Amino acid sequence: MPVVYLVRHGQASYGAQDYDVLSPIGHEQSAIVGRELQRRGVVSPQVVCGDLVRQRNTANGIIDSVGFESTVAIDPRWNEFDHPDMPLPTTGAGDSFEFQRRLDAALESWVRKDNLDGWRGFQNDSVDALMDFAGSLGSGATGLAVTSGGVVSAIVSRIWGLDAQGTVRINRVVANTSLTSIVFGRQGMNLLSVNDHSHLAGNGDLLTYR
């Protein structure tokens, strides 16, 4: 049975003029999760990510940290949500707690609308990207999909049948470079772990959420 790890990108540059670049911590997180995957026995996995800079840099950081003989495929369906009905708060406005409050409210409202051209369409695209990627893997193979918190939340909420509030709760706590693992078999897709960030334990500076 193939296994897919959903890897949220490393810490981006919150509050900076260009958010879509990894911070120094983000680069360090990418190397750490690469070593964690190697410790788990992953060897040169198939890798896919969206076309955002923070996603591509995380994917390459994972590969370079342990010398995986992997190339990175690009699929924009792994990008973070970007929709006129789901306006992201300005990153530089207010403190991080206010940013999170506004983000939670905007996401919950968007999910509740459940439009095919909005949240439901985004969720469908996320699940389709996962199924297509898993279908490209051989039996017993491992794949890494480097993505963003919104995609992880969309997939987890579909598998677990979460409502709007549940989706927001998942999205709020998906840590940078956390691992969500999904196994595929005769029973379909099943979650093995969600938001595993134990590889960052013991260093509070490395546990981040943006």
Q: pLDDT tens digits, the chain, 210 residues: what are they?
A: 899 999 999 999 866 656 789 999 999 999 999 999 999 999 999 999 999 999 999 999 999 999 999 999 999 999 999 766 666 655 555 567 788 888 899 999 999 998 888 999 999 999 999 999 999 999 899 999 999 999 999 999 999 999 999 999 999 999 999 999 999 988 889 999 999 999 998 877 899 998
Answer yes or no: are the C-beta atoms of 7 and 146 closer than 8 Å: yes
Helix, strand or coil, per DSSP, at residue 5 = strand
Q: How many CB atoms lie within 10 A of CB 62?
A: 32
Instruction: Tell me the backbone φ, ψ of residue 58, rounded to 5 degrees.
Output: -65, -45
Q: Which fold has domain 3-206?
A: Rossmann fold (3.40.50)
pTM, rounded to two decimals? 0.92
| pLDDT score at 48 | 98
Classify burial at 15, counting beta carbons within 10 Å of its beta carbon; exposed 0-12, middle 13-18, buried 19 or more.
middle
